[in-house]
């Protein structure tokens, strides 16, 4: 399952699908996209996918996956973040935080859902 996270300088994070439904044993990859919408915003981004409670992949508490994306020549970012196979059924609320990797300024912090079926 690929879950797409599309960010822009203005407007909300677009998450597709939300909620995302997967089955135990299915691999999950987040596609991280950023469109500067013609602006001169050309900085690396830090993407963080985090679970405050138990996550369905490593079965640990407070786990986070972090990726850094660099702008292409037109300022767009595109990265893939593979987190492995879902191992535990449940309804999980997780966080997606995007920040300027140089200054640390937060650009977005959203809380979508991932539902793992047995």
pLDDT tens, position by position, 71-117: 998 889 999 999 999 999 999 999 999 999 999 999 999 999 999 99
Answer whether 47's CB lies under 8 Å from 79's CB: yes
At 96, list the tokens: 């997606």
What separation in angstroms does the CA of 43 have from each of 8, 30, 57?
13, 20, 30
The domains of the chain are located at 2-117
pLDDT in tens, 37-51: 878 888 999 999 999
At 112, list the tokens: 């979508």
pTM for the full predicted model: 0.92
Burial class of 115 by CB neighbour count within 10 A (0 to 12, 13 to 18, 19+): middle
Domain spanning 2-117: which CATH class is it, in words?
Answer: mainly beta
At 73, list the tokens: 């020549």
Answer whether 101's CB lies under 8 Å from 70's CB: no
| Three-state secondary-structure class, residue 58 | coil
């Amino acid at each position: 399952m690929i879950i797409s996270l599309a960010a822009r300088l203005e407007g909300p994070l677009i998450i597709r699908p939300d909620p995302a439904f997967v089955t135990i044993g299915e691999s999950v990859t987040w596609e991280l996209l950023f469109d500067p919408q013609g602006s001169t915003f050309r900085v690396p981004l830090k993407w963080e996918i985090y679970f405050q409670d138990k996550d369905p992949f490593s079965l640990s508490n407070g786990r986070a996956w972090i990726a850094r994306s660099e702008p292409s020549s037109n300022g767009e970012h595109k990265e893939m973040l593979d987190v492995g196979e879902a191992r535990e059924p449940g309804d999980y609320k997780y966080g997606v935080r995007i920040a300027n990797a140089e200054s640390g300024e937060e650009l977005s912090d959203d809380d979508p859902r991932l539902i793992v079926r047995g």
